Structure 1
């Protein structure tokens, strides 16, 4: 884990957007929101792609909902799901991610959705950022800085993760026991995980966050996360304490993002 000082990239999202939605951005990209049933995406791309985004969200939701209709337990289990060779690709990604992290497949749904939609949008745009409830798929031909939103922690939006190369697409997902509605057994303000698989980053962030009930457990939780194959980097914020590991660089944020 490295540190450097750099000016964060800024999003051109509207000022009324929620703070966590101003965590990452590329100057010059068009930002737009797509809401479809329970799915709420903030997207940045070379041009406005609301229709294309909505169509892909409907496809993904249809595949996940169809699988849940067939296997209702899939939606509620907190344990890894058995492999299903004939499941849709997005469902298989959720199953694989949950199995790798030791959690249920729905722990990976937001990251899997962000990545699946994001990769489809690459058919229309060279640069794509898709944020889904704090879980982000990023593909940009250049470095990106993502601010760490950690609720009421004094470190929230004071530190960013510098990603020097996202040209193949990368996932940056966050789990929190104090922010939002996601299920977490822990109390960390933010657990951020970087992986080439956005679904895996989502599931791993949940698994790591479940192990943190006080700042004293940051070190052991990170040690657990290091053993999850495919995890590239981890940042944990709990109150005023922070721990980090992996192929990431931390940067101080020098100004308000947005």
Structure 2
């Protein structure tokens, strides 16, 4: 998570959604309301179309669906994964943009490793990579000129997110946290489960260079890491 200077902390937990929010203003009430609104939209769509929750493959667009659903479907199609691969990033982004619409200017929302970032100053984001010796030893330097920004991480060794690979962390930067989340899942799958970490990382980075709408990616497997695109790394103490 980025530095806390001058920001208030708020936590919102609704079922699987667990938001850690930093903002210059008190967002307790609106953040809770927005989280419930967007979770219910996803839940109601799943009730009507169960395949939305079950499919690991892209689905066709539904022009009658609400925007968060259409964005998840589009991100899944762009990354060649199922739409639920983007759900955590989607909740982060939609809650974040909702708070901005309500007058907040400084917003960081983290939801299970998926971040929506809007600040007026440069930030450093620490990268957690489980048991890797590089975990919390490197950070992503993010210029305020690149925000709002989605920074989403998938792992095959940490947490409960679905990943078919063995990467300790795959972090994707994109203008949309929805797309960043879907892309992180895809790249994590590309790393695979073999013993050759460098080959897995190179395979994921090659795919990252061909995915639309992402700005950069960082992959960490054990003591090996690789990056592509607009990734500025800084050492952390």
Which TM-score band applies after superposition, normalised by the shorter structure? Answer: over 0.9
Where does residue 246 of structure 1 map in the other structure? 229
1:194 counterpart SS class: strand
Contact 1:150 1:157 survives alignment (8 Å) = yes
Q: Distance in 2 between matches of 1:140 and 1:71?
A: 37
1:37 Cα deviation (Å)?
Answer: 2.2
* Larger RCO, structures 1/2 (Cα 8 Å, 6+ apart): 1
Compute the TM-score of the two structures, normalised by the length of structure 1: 0.88
1:194 Cα deviation (Å)?
Answer: 0.1
1:124 Cα deviation (Å)?
Answer: 2.8
Cα RMSD (Å): 1.1
Deviations 1:38-68, CA, capped at 9 Å, x for gaps: 2110000012211100100111011111111
More helix by share: 2
Alignment equivalent of 1:57, drawn from 35, 43, 49: 35
1:142 Cα deviation (Å)?
Answer: 1.4
Q: How does 1:1-258 map to 2 (within 5 A)?
A: 23-122=1-100, 123-165=102-144, 168-212=147-191, 213=193, 214=195, 215-216=197-198, 217-254=200-237
2:190 counterpart SS class: coil
1:185 counterpart SS class: coil
Residue range with higher mean Cα deviation, 27-36 or 146-155: 27-36
- Listed as ranges, the gaps of 5+ residues in structure 1 are 1-22
Q: Distance in 1 between matches of 2:176 and 2:2?
A: 18
1:236 counterpart SS class: strand
- Listed as ranges, the gaps of 5+ residues in structure 2 are none
1:225 Cα deviation (Å)?
Answer: 1.2
Aligned in 2, Cα 1:35/1:166: closer, same or farther, shift over 3 Å?
farther
